Amino acid sequence: MIEKKIGNTPLRRCEHLSNKFSTNIYIKDESCNPGKSSKDRAAYFMLEEAIKGNKIQPGGTIVEASSGNTGISIALMAKELGCRAKIFVSKSCSEEKRALLEAYGASIEICDNSFGLHVFNSTQYQAQAYAANHENAYFTNQYYNSANIKAHYKTTGPEIWEQTNHQVTHVIAGVGTGGTISGIGRYLKEQKKNIKILGVEPTNSVYQTFLEHGKVENTGVVHDAIEGIGRTFIPGTFDVQAVDAIYQIDAESSKRAAQDYRADTDQLIGFSSAAVLAAVEQNLSHMNFKHDDHVVLYFPDHGDRYLQKLYNNNQQETTKAFDIL
């Protein structure tokens, strides 16, 4: 059963980054989940609650709006449950993720954007409409499903707490639905209030403004395309009380961070993981790490899902690095 393999992912100290940032840097490697991403956690909790609530029956269709990873996780679990998966992705979804979705048997619909439930041509609107108009179809709705937060409150937060022997001082994670950082932040702040929970989003995304001012103004400016993170609206799965600060980073800096990290470590990291690295590099003085801090960088998936977007200008070397992993 897939659920027995979800979670308890490794936390490893990165010597390269620890030396670079003059503190203890740990990487929470979520690519070790069965679906190779952190979204396995939320998908399992959302589907478990749906089944318990009789919201989906065998043979039905599980529907989600996803940048790819949640869809992949749902496709894997749907097959095990005897259900179909219908995943609505935006045009920015990577080719690698689309291929995986199809390989796992999901039906894909490509939408113009992922701007929320009230935008007709968005993934969220179309997914909701499909579920409402088809019998035995259930929209998991990760952006407003409390099980998304619960998954990380019940599993990821406790894992980080135990794996650092209660010494964690900072957690830095990309913010997409907000469920991951909210669940981790809620749990860890219950253990020790002064743990810093820091989010990362693309330039012109809305979380930073919302966290600082409590509202979002629609400027019409679309945020940088960093797959998996950034929003034009505030989902119900974002808890402002669980997050201390949000840092913004541009897509090009994130790409450079991914390529630099590959060159230094022979490891491929995903787009939002690279954004976290770039944000630390550019805001190191503001983050004010002490030499004995224990800083956890949350890496939600693997770089093999972004070969064309992040590494295609180093194709030969990327293939070599991929073979090592």
Q: Of these residues, 67, 73, 272, 273, which one is catalytic?
A: 272
Fold entry, domain 2-33+152-311: Rossmann fold (3.40.50)
Judge whether 254 counts as a catalytic residue: no
Name the class of domain 39-139: alpha beta
3-state class (DSSP) for residue 231: coil
Q: What is the pLDDT at residue 139?
A: 97
**Is 90 exceeded by the pLDDT of residue 269?**
yes
- Same fold across 2-33+152-311 and 39-139: yes
Q: What is the pLDDT at residue 319?
A: 35
Q: To which H or E segment does residue 24 belong?
A: strand 24-29
Q: Where are the domains of the chain?
A: 2-33+152-311, 39-139
**Is 90 exceeded by the pLDDT of residue 98?**
yes
- Asked if residues 127 and 149 have their Cβ atoms less than 8 Å apart, the reply is no
Q: Chain-wide mean pLDDT for the chain?
A: 92
3-state class (DSSP) for residue 309: helix
**Is 60 exceeded by the pLDDT of residue 262?**
yes
Q: What is the pLDDT at residue 1?
A: 54
Q: What is the pLDDT at residue 177?
A: 95
CB atoms within 10 A of CB 83: 24
Judge whether 79 counts as a catalytic residue: no
Q: What is the pLDDT at residue 2?
A: 62
Q: Of these residues, 39, 86, 97, 196, which one is catalytic?
A: 39
> Burial code of 287-316, b = ≥16 C-beta within 10 A, e = fewer?
bebeeebbbbbbbbbbbbbbbebbbeeeee
**Is 50 exceeded by the pLDDT of residue 280?**
yes
Average pLDDT over residues 177-189: 98
For the chain, what percent of residues have pLDDT higher than 70?
Answer: 95
3-state class (DSSP) for residue 287: helix
